[in-house]
Every structure is written in structure tokens, then in C-alpha cells.
Chain A
Amino acid sequence: MEELDTVNLVRVMSDDSIHSSLSSDSCEYYQTEIFDQLPSVQACRLEQNRQSLLEASEANQDGPEPRENISHGHLSRGPKDKASTRPLRNLVMCIQGKRNARDRRKMQISNIGFWDSWRRSQSIYMKRVMAQMGGALKGLLPWQQTLRTINGRFGVGVKAYFVFLRYLVFLNLLHCALISGFILGPTAFYGSSAHLKFGANDSVLDFFLGTGYLDRSPVFFGFYTRGSLNLPCLNTPLLYLAGIFTILFLSLIMVVRRTVVGYKHTWILGKQYSVNVSYKIFCGWDFSIQDRASATLKRSFIRNDLKLFLEEQSFSLREAQRTLPQKVRLYLLRFIFNLIVLSLLGGAFYLIYFATKTSQNMSASEHHWMVSLVLQYLPPITITFVNLFLPHMFRKISSFEDYSFTTQVNATLLRSIFLKLASLGIYLFFVFDQTKNQPCRENIFGREMYKLSNFNFLATLCNAFLFSYPRKLLQEKYPSSLLAHLSGKQHFLIPFNVLDLVYSQTVSWVGVYYCPLLPLIGTVTLMATFYIKKFTVLRCCVAEQRMLRGSSSSVLFHFMLLLGLIMAAVTLGVNFWIPNTNTFSCGPFGNGGSLFNVTGECVARLPSSAQTTLRYLSSEAFALPLILTEVIILTSYVSRGRANQKAIERLKDMLVLSSSDKRFLVKQHATMLRRQKNTGRVRGAAIKEDNPRNNSTVPPSTRTN
């Protein structure tokens, strides 16, 4: 009788402890015998006392009928019953434990029917095949080994940069596929390729300037004239538009997806201040680190990170205690610094304007080819230099502003991304303005984009081999020289490098309409960039003392990419909405055609029902139901989110309850055992009286549920 009660107790506990597998606390509980019988502990300690467990299970098996049921459930509860089709390799057990589990499973399987066992084995087989295919696909991803090396030596942040770079390569490859499907393919089959010859007055210089030979080549918009493929709804202009829109739309979906997935993590991270520091400790060590130097580095990184966290905490404390005059002084200081930043930005924009004007005015006149090359490249050079130096100034400025470190980084990033995109936008505006009345405006525009992306790559190349590498060599050869001392150690500044990537991708998106081969150029240059950056990182840089966390930074990266994409879409929109007044238009919309003409023509040929549908879709009458549907969908999502939040809270409560239950039970059991020991078998009857009361007080959790 007494034994049966104990077993009952065990079952109640095992039910509870499925949810909170291991949650008793101070040491006294672990010395009691019942603790070792908890299913969670058994799953956990299986490897340590395998023998004793086997004995226990044998002992359980030759008990009486009802008890066997209980003990069976009790034994196999744990991870196994959650899903008996779960692959063995996902169970938390040592191999011997898995073997036992498999034997148990086999016994179970022999009990079930033929059909069930066949289906189960099929599903296991399918899972295995899928896992193998997944593994094979993962192996196909390029640069895995490089990424691992970089991760080991420079941490997650730098790896996030390279992963981002790889993602951009994939994105550009996808763009290439779309371009060749929608634009290049049809043109190759149906278009005219008459003037694709290297003329007498073409030079190699044209490849840099995008003039002459390249101007007539498929690189630019002007090449894609209306060919022989001239059905009302299947012609070059329409395909061209479809290609460009698909690219932008797909990019939008992909980037938004990545941003949102990352955002979810950061949102959670940012919301709970102290969970953040729990991560830093629990997930701090990178188990892939192999060499001693990087281990020391990682240690110092974690130490700095923790100190940084504590510093920020005390910083926020200090911030709360600031007096009014201090506050006023600080805000004044920040105001002045912001003015400086603004004037710097203004100066930069004027410089770009000046460069664009000079380049446009002077390029017509005759010069030495070198001079004209520099003149032609003047705007990209200016933009690149502005973008190269100003962010570093911003970084210096923000360090004076008495922000916390994270805010400093964010402020710098924000200012830099604004500078980059705005300078590009202003440049675009000037080019737009000045080429308004020139023949084949799109080609000129495309040329500018072509030059921008080329120069961007050249700057990366030069930066690596003419700046970083010599600097490193200098430090290696003459470590004691003054110059080496001055230049200091080189760090891989992730935010600025990512800004470069975002910028070049934005240029590619903006330019893809005018220069459809930009994605191809982008793919090639990005791949080259990968190797250049890899060289820079592994050869020239030392790891940062303070590193960005991979996940939180990647959200920022993708968000900036999203900004770039929006800018590209806006540019394209402006291009379509500005009426094409000049008569020298070229490309798919050669003879007075425009986006609206071409699509209108196509719509007019559609059957009447489709036409009415389209007209309805584009009218205001459709907007109302659309907005309504969106509202409904959004509401449902918001309420689902709230419900989930509530469920999470309730689960947390349950966790608390069940762990307190367990502690209570363990305490009861311990006192029971102690009393039993003290009083011996004589007073056994008293315990029997005690037990019903115990059982009635046992399930506080069931009551509250």
C-alpha cells in the first residue's frame, strides 16, 4: 500500500515534470531518492548510471499489473513519448540510451498493424532522404569553408558581412537569370544585331566610359529596340518591362522577408534587456574556435562585451542622474555637432553637384584621353571619396556626443546611410536634370550607373591593394617605425563595408532599367569583392575588440538594403511619370512609345471580360474592398499575436507552478522518508493517514489550470 502511494506520487510528478524537466533547486532535494526517479533526471543522467537504471526498469517490469502500466509510462515518458517517430538521433541520450529506445520502439512497432508500420517506416525513410538531400544542398553552398575560417578568427559579425555578401551574389545571379530570360533571350532570337561591330573609332577606353562600342552593345537600354517579335501582347518593350518589374518585385519580397525574420529576433532581443546579457553568457562561447590566439581573442571579446554591457547599464543610471545644467550643455553640444554634420552633408552635396556639372560641361571639349577619362569619372570619384571619408568623420563626431556605445554606432550608421543614399539621389537628380533634352537619355543615365558601379569596384580593389596591404606590409617590415605606429592596427569595420555593399546594390537596382547587364557586372564584381575582402580580412586585419553581434547587425544590413531598393523604385517611378518630350528616344520605346502606350495597346487586345476586370482592379472601387481585406487580415494577425503573448505568459506561469509543485512534492517526500526512518515500521500507519492529505494538496497546478 505504502509503495503504491509512492508510485502514485511519482506519476503525478512525472506528468508535471514533462513541462519543466529539471527544476528543483537547493541541494537538499538532490540527496533524496525521489529525485533520481524523476523522468527528466533519468533522461539526463542515463549515461551516468546506466546500470542502475537497467536494474530499476527490470524491477519495475516484474511488478503487479497496474503498477507495470504506471512504471512503463513513467520510464518511457521523457523525450520518447513526445513523438515516437522522431528520429533517434534527435533524442537527448547517449548511444546506449538510444539503443534501448530503438529496441523499445521495435517492440512497439511489432504490436501495431502492417499498414501502420509500413507507413511509419516510409515516413522515416522519407525523412532520411530529405535530410540527406538537405545536407547535399548545404554542401553545394559556396565558400562554406572560408566562412568557417573567418568565423573562427573574426567572430560572428565579420561572418555576417560575408554571408550578406554571398546573399547579394545569389540575388544578382537570380537577376541575371531573369534578365536573360525576359530581355536577352528574346532579343537574341528576334532582335537585330547589325551594329554589333567594333568600329574604327572605338577604343578600349570605351569599356571604361561606356561610350562608343558599349553604347551600341547590349549593355545599355538603347540596344533593345523593337525587333521582329511584335505581337500586341508579346513584344520587346513589354518583355523588357516585365523583366525589370519582376526583378524589383522579387528583390522586394526577398529583402523584406530577410528583414522581417531578423527583425523578429532583434525585437525580442531589444525588448528584454537582461535576456540579452543571459545570451552573452550562455551563448557567448563559440565552440568552433580552434587556435589558441583566437580563443584568447574571444575571451577578451566576451570580457569587453560584458564590461560594455555593465558600462552601458551604469551609463543609463548616470544619464538618469544628470542635472539640468549638464543636460542643457549636453544638448547644446549635440545640437552643434548635428549642425556640423548637416553642413558637412551640405558641402558634400554641393561638391557632387559641382563635379557633375563640370563633368557634363567639360566632356564635350577636346582633351587628352587621360584628362577626359578623369573628367568623365569625376562624379563617381567625388561620390566615392565623399562616402569614404565622411563616415569616418561621423564616427569621430559621434564619439564626442556622449552617447552610449550602441547609440554611437547606430548614429554613425544612420548618418552614413543617409549620406550614401542622398548623395546618390542628388547625383541622379542632377544627371536627370541635365540629360533631359539629350538624345537617348536612358543610355546616358545607364552610362552613369555603369561608371558608378565600375568605380565602386575599382575603389574596393585599390583600397585593398594600394592601402591596406602596403600598410600591413609596412607594419610587418618596420614594426618600430613612426609611420607604422601612427597607422595603427587595421580593423575590419563591418558597418562601413556593409554600407559599401548596400550602396553598390542600390546602384545596380537603380541602373538595371537603363543598363540591363548591371546584374551580371554586379555578380562578377561581388564575387571578386568576396575574394578581395577575404584577402583583406585574413591577411591585413586584426580582429576587433568590440564586435557587432551577428543577428542584430544583419537586420540593419537588410533594412538598409530595403532603403536602397525603395530608392531604386522611386527613381524608376519618376522616370516613367516624367513625360518623354524629346524626339530622340531610343530603345524598346523607340518611336514615341511609353510604358502606358505599350501596356494600353496590350490591354485593348484582351478579351472584354479581362478588360473590365483590369479596369475594375485599377479603379477606386477596388481600393475600398482591398483596404477592408487588409484591415481584416491585419486585425486577425494582431489578435493572434496577442493570443500567443497570453499563451506564453500562461505557459510561464505553468512553469513556475509546476516547478513549485515539484519542490513541494519533493519536500513532502523527503519529510516522509525522514519520518519513516525515524519511526521505523512501527509507525507506518501514521504515514498512511498522512498520504491522502498529501495527495489532496498535491495538484495546485491542476486547480489553477
Chain B
Amino acid sequence: MGTTASQLGKDMLSEYQHCVLIHDICFSAHKRFAELLTREEKDLPNIRVSMERILTLPELKSNPFRKRICHVFSTSEQKDGSLTFEDFLDLLSAFSDSATLEIKSHYAFRIFDFDDDGTLDCGDLEKLVNCLTGETDDTRLTTEEMRQLINNVSSLRQSDIDKDGTVNLSEFQHVISRSPDFVR
């Protein structure tokens, strides 16, 4: 557990490799993470980086789901979306090319599950679509369009196999596993 953030021990590195990713990504990940820290913080073990600072990463800056991403990968008890280095590695490995479909779809589901209730209901879908199209009034779909769309996605159609009006993880994975574009 106890890594100081300034250097990455060899044993930790090999452990991370087993668990997460290939060698060179660990190093670059650690470098990226260290850049987010101030000088004093670098020597503390298990330091948490607040969500605001994580969001300054260029990769996340323009992502509409950036806050959700931080919340999903955060292990913080206060649910403030702050990340430790290990959470950060988790995040990177889930988004890396080598991640499996299962991992990707799992985290995608959790990112899209805005109210954390383990299912994508109408509210989640609406938020999701709003995130995708843009949140301002002129970019948003009209209420009528939204209704038609959500009807298409959730109710009594293919993606909702058990016909309960919401999309759960296995249904989600079922839909996504057929998408050739999802795992690129």
C-alpha cells in the first residue's frame, strides 16, 4: 500500500504490472500523477488528489462525463471524487487499449448510472443524452424528441430484454458487446 508519490518502488511497479497494465504505462502514469501534486504532497504516502485537480488533465477537460469518471473510480469515503495513485491507475487501465470489453462495459455502465442505483432508468438516460448533446438549452433535444428517443432505447425494445423499462448491467453489456466500435 505505502507508496510515497515521489518515486515508484520496483516491487510496487511489478505488482501494478500484474494487476493493471503494461510496464511503460505504469511509469508514465506515475509521472502524470506526480505532476498533479504539489512539492510537499509528493513525499506523503497514499496522497489523494482532489477532483478539481484531476479534471485539469487535458484528457478529461472536455469530456462531458469527467465528474462521473472521477466518482466512479474514486475510493474515497467522502464520495468527493478524489483519486489516489491506485485509483488513477485503475482509471487509466480501464481506458487503455488493452482493457477487455467486460471491464470497459462495466465501467461505462457505472459512469452512465448517474444516480448509482445499479440500473439505467429514464432519468439516467435523459442525463446521459443531455451530456452527449450538450447541456445548454439550444443544444438540448426537445422534450418530444427526448421522449421518442428514450422510448426507443428503453421501453419494450431490444436493449431492454427483461421488459422492465430500465436497462441493467447485463442488458447493457449485451447491447454493447455487439458494437464493433466500442472496443477499438
Contacts and interface: CB of A to CB of B under 8 A. Distances in A.
A65 interface: no
Contact of A289 (B62, B95, B145): B62
Q: How large is the interface on A (under 10, 10 to 19, 20 to 34, 35 or more residues)?
A: 35 or more
Chain A interface helix/strand/loop/mixed: helix
Interface in B63-79: 63-65, 73-75, 79
B161 A655 contact: yes
Interface in A264-290: 265, 268-269, 272, 274-275, 277-279, 281-285, 287, 289-290
Contact of B63 (A92, A132, A156, A289): A289
A127 to B, nearest CB: 12
Interface residues of B, number: 75
B166 A268 contact: no
A289 B64 CA distance: 11
B179 A283 contact: yes
A551 B180 contact: yes
A285 B153 contact: no
Contacts of A290: 58-59, 61-62
Interface of A: 19-25, 27, 30, 40-41, 44, 47-48, 50, 79, 88-92, 94-96, 98-99, 102, 131-132, 135, 138, 156, 262, 265, 268-269, 272, 274-275, 277-279, 281-285, 287, 289-292, 294-296, 299-300, 302-303, 306-307, 309-310, 313, 549-551, 652, 655-656, 659-660
Contacts of A91: 103
A22 B90 contact: no
Contact of B119 (A25, A138, A313, A550): A25
B125 interface: yes
A306 B181 contact: no
B63 A287 contact: yes
B75 to A, nearest CB: 5
A240 to B, nearest CB: 40
Contact of A20 (B74, B89, B170, B180): B170
B120 to A, nearest CB: 9
Given A21-B169, A44-B106, A290-B59, A88 B18 contact: yes
Nearest to A79: B102
B139 to A, nearest CB: 6
Nearest to A652: B161
Given A47-B90, A299-B134, 19 more contacts: A23-B169, A27-B117, A47-B74, A48-B75, A89-B20, A92-B106, A98-B19, A99-B15, A102-B18, A131-B22, A156-B181, A268-B178, A275-B158, A279-B175, A279-B179, A281-B153, A282-B176, A306-B149, A310-B145
A25 B86 contact: no
A549 B16 CA distance: 36
B152 interface: yes
B125 A281 contact: yes
Nearest to B157: A274
